Chain A
Amino acid sequence: MDADTLLGMDVIESDEILMQRYATGDVGAFELLYQRHKGPVYRYMLKLCQNEAIAEELFQEVWIKLIKARVNYVASAKFTTYLYKLAHNLFIDHYRKQNVRIVIDESVEIDNAEADIQNGNNPEAQTQLEQSIDQLNKILDELPSEQREVFLLREESGMTVPEIADTIGVNQEAVKSRLRYAIAKLRKGLGNG
């Protein structure tokens, strides 16, 4: 059961209407919004940051910013685009402030790749494993962050290419290109390519 059913609502209100209701003081509308989007936004942050503590911190900041901006919210764009744009900008800010931490994370990735080679876990061998889910996450983590982000936005928020382009501030062709590379690598890694 989703949040709307729990509250006995027959008609699912759009995110934009819920946000406008919250702007007028309806806390219940915000709770509905939060229940709808907390999982996708959290996973988006977690996959981007690859660090649970940082992901939680940024996730909390996203929602606090949304709460503070409730009065100024104008439903001129899709709410999902607005929400993920907040998340994207916070991640970029964090990335710029935490260069050292990103370098450490990259070194961890390199170490993991070397360990995989030693254990014989190359992408071709993984096609034989039933737990392809873990392999998917592993390959996803090894994608360049730009390719990983467009894939996550597509999977978690269900955005279209133009919406993704609007959210991260690039043109649609760039989004398509990143998405194309990401899908190819993931399929190859899972033995589907």
Chain B
Amino acid sequence: MKPFLEKLRQLYPSDRLYEDNARLTPYVSDGLTVFREKPIAVVMPLDSDEVVDTLKLCHEFCVPFVARGSGTSLSGGSLPIDEGIVISLNRLNRILSIDPDNRTARVQPGVINAHVSAAVTQHNLYFAPDPSSQSVCTIGGNLAFNSGGAHCLKYGMTSNHVLGIKVALPDGEIVHLGNDSLENVGPDCVGLFVGSEGLFGIALEIQLRLLPIPESFRTILASYDSLEAAGEAVGTVVASGILPGAMEIMDKLAIEAAEAAVNAGYPQDAEALLIIELDGEAAAVEAEFTALTAAIEQTQAKEIRIAQDNDERLLIWKGRKSAFSAVGRLSPDYLVQDGVVPRSKLGEALKEISRLGSESKLRVANVFHAGDGNLHPLILFDGKEKGALEKAEALAGKILRLCLKLGGSITGEHGVGVEKKAFMPEMFSEADLDAFKRIRQAIDPHEISNRGKMLPGHEAPALSHSGPHPLEKAGIISRM
């Protein structure tokens, strides 16, 4: 490792190369703190050339690296790699150009998601993907994990909003994927790169697609006496043929937490809350709104509220987007799951999750993208209690299996990361995983780019608690 570090020191001044304990320690975790691993160094490149030089060095010495933005991954996607380095992209945070006529913006990977929309709002444009962490998370991370958000239902995920990428492959070779068009010739390489969880190298420049800000919004809150009733209401709305911009559900625990965090004004007596937003041309939205209210009236809503102005609308969303972190008020620790079920199985899934929760004697808060069937059960536990983390992880595993059994997926938008890679063999066959591995190795023969993420195999992450991880016990993962 010494010769590698010596060369790294030639590349970076000491204020952009961290090797001491105090400066490495804060990088041991991202948004998922149950996994912790200390890198051998953290570097802070200032431009693309420095990134490429760093990759060439890593390739030469077979040193694994992970690119990191704001470290908000909920699947451990930016967890450092043992004996590896962290490439912090926070200073590659420039919006390089904005093209209002083509509705595109070219940005560096360290740009914060919300900053893109802020920079183009003067042109009446915005960047549609809106993960709850959008005020913090970076475009590079959105790209790597194909981040979603509340408005995926109508507008799709990050992948649907990336037109072109300048990529540094894991050996430092530069390649341009896509272009400035929605269309493409040849295989959709941009499509493959987005969501590859950092296994194919580092995006240096990203051409984003922007959308005109909708002329009009209608945001509706409907409260229900049970989570199931809210779930069924989603079915009613979908069946009516209306395509809302977003359809979200929060349960009582999540409402309580969000309310404590931002005073969003949610009804406090509701067991479940359904948030529906329509957007588009004013005339079209008004016509849809009439149809939507008619549909909701058929459901068992006990109260229907409509946001009266934009401030009220933003407050409703602020509450929803703070919900995950706000659950920190209810419990010292929690695990967030991200499974997806077919929309018609929502009610069934929620009932079973609640049953599994009480069986494990753990509280589960629910806040999720109902329109997409993308669940976010938050499993609350107290890490100080012996065996609590293991119990929570076991419940998380049961929930993931439930999603698969119902024909869904183990992750809708948080990615596999380290957290769910042990479940990949349950979703994919050996041949499928082998194909993934072949693609990975063709692009990254030494497997240095974010080693240990998404694909099963390789070293298990360091765990903060003592005793073997339940997945270790099951023989699925192992620790060095």
Question: Do A and B make up one complex?
Answer: no
